[in-house]
Amino acid sequence: FVEPGDEVIVFEPFYENYVPDAAMSGAQLVFVTLQAPDFRFSADQLRAAFSSKTKAIIVNTPNNPCGRVFDREELQVIADLCQEFDVLCITDEIYEHILYVDRGHVPMATLPGMYDRTVTISGLSKTFSVTGWRLGYLTAAPVLSESLRKVHDFLTVGAPAPLQEAGAVAIEQGESYYPELRALYERKCDFLLTALLEAGFKAHRPEGAYYIMADFSDLGFDGSDRDFARHMIEQIGVAPVPGSSFYHDDRAGSHLVRLTFSKSDETLAEAARRISRL
């Protein structure tokens, strides 16, 4: 879909793999920042990122690392620009069932005019807590999926058959499981968020996924996000990810770290106890 010199738009903060994956194609990356604390984008800035060179945009909702869930109006802005500039939309919707907002998840491919220009990527790893299986999937219109199937065949041949069988059973039973999953993670989210706020971090409650981006600038630490992450590992015993890992310009995430609450209650309780020592 993308040739060397073409442009691909990426929202930041972004999942770390997007940038090297896009760069391997020779594409030039154009970044649009989701502005803290609520991680919304400016429609004007997004429009300015589109040009005659734009071939694709990567949309991750719910977002890793910030937890933003785009609403229908925001997705429509993206969809309108994709159609105006004849751009492919590649969506990462792997956290679609891990939501803490009532408006729910809106698949981009369901918007008018977007089915034939959307490649939807998802998987079972996050929803069913089997990250070690690396079992994912994509859906797209035949005009798009034909070339994707050829590449997939030579890259992976296919996922192990027993895992596919297990995945099919899980999906069939999903409707009764998803509310339980949401309640579980919502409780864990509130627990970790409270611990971070009480320790002096600034943090915005995520709308989906299972990460919290925490701002440590009020803690009086003199150093970069990498220095702070190392300090937490060595002195506190809690391992966050430096915020600069999710931005093309290190300075944008220099006051942030990402933590996950996809852990047991016992682990989160111990993490909260240790964080309180900051």
Could you report the per-residue pLDDT of 227-263, keeping only the tens digit for each?
999 999 999 999 999 999 999 999 999 999 999 999 9
One-letter amino acid of 31 = F
CATH superfamily of 175-275: Aspartate Aminotransferase, domain 1 (3.90.1150.10)
- Assess if CATH 3.30.565.10 describes domain 7-171: no
46-60, 149-163, 180-194, 215-229: which range is least confident on average? 149-163
CA distance 145 to 140: 5
Task: Summarize the confidence of residues 91-97 as an average pLDDT.
Answer: 97
Please state whether the peptide bond connecting residue 206 to the residue before it is cis, i.e. omega within 30 degrees of 0. Answer: no
pLDDT of residue 10: 97
Which residues make up the CATH 3.90.1150.10 domain(s) of the chain? 175-275
Strand intervals (E) in 21-149: 28-33, 54-60, 88-92, 118-123, 136-139
- CATH 3.40.640.10 in the chain is located at 7-171
**Span 189-242, pLDDT tens digits:** 999 999 999 999 999 999 999 999 999 999 999 999 999 999 999 999 999 999
Residue of 36, 98, 108, 46 lying closest to 71 (CA atoms):
108
Answer whether 0.75 is exceeded by the pTM: yes
